[in-house]
């Protein structure tokens, strides 16, 4: 059935005018209506999805925050334990200092300071990861320190003053103001094989012909050349302690000779498996290697002792 035409009378022209819409006009109006309706529906769907995803993200964020909070509380508890360990070490250091020097030590360098100030404004995940790594490292260091300090404290408590002459308690080279780099005790990278190995002593990087001293009274047990160590001296101190001096350029004492703390026993060289001129120095107690840095209490004040511990704790290549 065909659509009826609509006419309106125009009094000015005295004629009837056709007012029927054309198909093009009708399609245009329909298209505009559909477009506006589509936009309206899209806005409604967008608002609905926005509320849905916002609620979902808020829930996820809350769950992540709860996990971070638990991790943070765990880290704070571990930090508290490590602080207690450090305080114990300071107390034991004080007792050793009192026993040896009959005076009060300056422990200001051991004061526990807030290590987190520099992390203000940094993402919380980075702070937690960094603290977790630091705490694991400190736990290992404090465990080793507790064991070694207990050993020293037991010796101090069970010894008279004269027996201290036979404890290796000074540096084997004259190292005023710590001018010579010290490479430390523990796991290090082998200079030849580039693999991780246990380094049972410390290394002093110093010029050739630098004088090497005996660190305690004792008897020269071995004096000569050994593969890898080059020219080497071992001194038996007669109380469970032995000290080793390796990569020497010159040996000034022979096997069987009695030496006292501070005696010149050799010079630094570059013999054996050596990367640069240096002295390799070891302390063994009852056959077990011990970190020599812990035995410099007659040679260093508390600040220097703390500094040399930090220097020797750095990882890297060993010099032999």
Domains of the chain by residue range: 63-158, 163-313
3-state SS, 117-176, equals HHHCCCCHHHHHHHHHHHHHHHHHHHHHHHHHHHHHHHHHHCCCHHHHHHCCCCCCCCCH
3-state secondary structure of 21: coil
pTM as predicted: 0.53
Per-residue pLDDT tens for 98-119? 655 555 555 554 455 555 566 5
- Residue 312 or 32, more confident: 32
For residue 131 the two structure tokens come to: 């603290």
- Residue 144: closest CA among 80, 94, 187, 203: 187
Do 223 and 212 form a contact (C-beta atoms < 8 A)?
A: no
Strand-pairing partners, residue 278, are 205, 269
| Measured CA distances, 48 to 35, 52, 61, 288 (Å) | 20, 6, 20, 72
Per-residue pLDDT tens for 125-166? 776 777 777 777 777 777 776 776 676 666 666 655 567 788
Q: What CATH number belongs to 163-313?
A: 2.70.70.10
């Amino acid at each position: 059935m065909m659509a009826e035409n609509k006419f309106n009378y125009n009094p000015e022209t005295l004629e009837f005018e056709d007012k029927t819409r054309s198909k093009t006009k009708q399609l245009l109006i329909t298209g505009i209506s559909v477009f506006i309706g589509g936009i309206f529906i899209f806005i409604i769907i967008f608002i609905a999805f926005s509320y849905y995803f916002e609620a979902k993200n808020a829930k996820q964020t809350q769950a992540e925050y709860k996990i971070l909070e638990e991790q943070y509380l765990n880290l704070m508890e571990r930090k508290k334990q490590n602080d207690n360990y450090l305080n114990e070490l300071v107390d034991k250091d004080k007792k050793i200092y009192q026993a040896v020097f009959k005076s009060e030590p300056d422990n200001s360098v051991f004061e526990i300071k807030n290590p987190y100030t520099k992390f203000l404004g940094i993402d919380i995940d980075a702070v937690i990861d960094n603290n977790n790594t630091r705490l694991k490292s400190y736990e290992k260091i404090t465990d080793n320190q507790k064991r070694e300090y207990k050993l020293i404290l037991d010796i101090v408590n069970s010894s008279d003053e004269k027996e201290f002459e036979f404890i290796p308690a000074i540096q084997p080279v004259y190292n005023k103001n710590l001018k010579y780099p010290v490479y430390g005790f523990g796991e290090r990278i082998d200079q030849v094989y580039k693999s991780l190995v246990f380094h049972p002593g410390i290394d002093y990087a110093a010029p050739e012909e630098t004088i090497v001293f005996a660190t305690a009274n004792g008897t020269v047990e071995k004096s000569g050349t050994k593969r890898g160590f080059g020219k080497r001296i071992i001194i038996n101190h007669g109380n469970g302690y032995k000290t080793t001096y390796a990569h020497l350029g010159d040996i000034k004492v022979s096997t069987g000779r009695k030496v006292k703390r501070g005696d010149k026993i050799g010079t630094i060289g570059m013999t054996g498996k050596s990367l640069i001129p240096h002295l390799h120095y070891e302390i063994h107690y009852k056959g077990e290697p011990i970190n020599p840095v812990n035995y410099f209490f007659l040679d260093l004040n508390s600040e220097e002792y703390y500094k040399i511990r930090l220097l020797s704790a750095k990882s890297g290549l060993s010099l032999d």
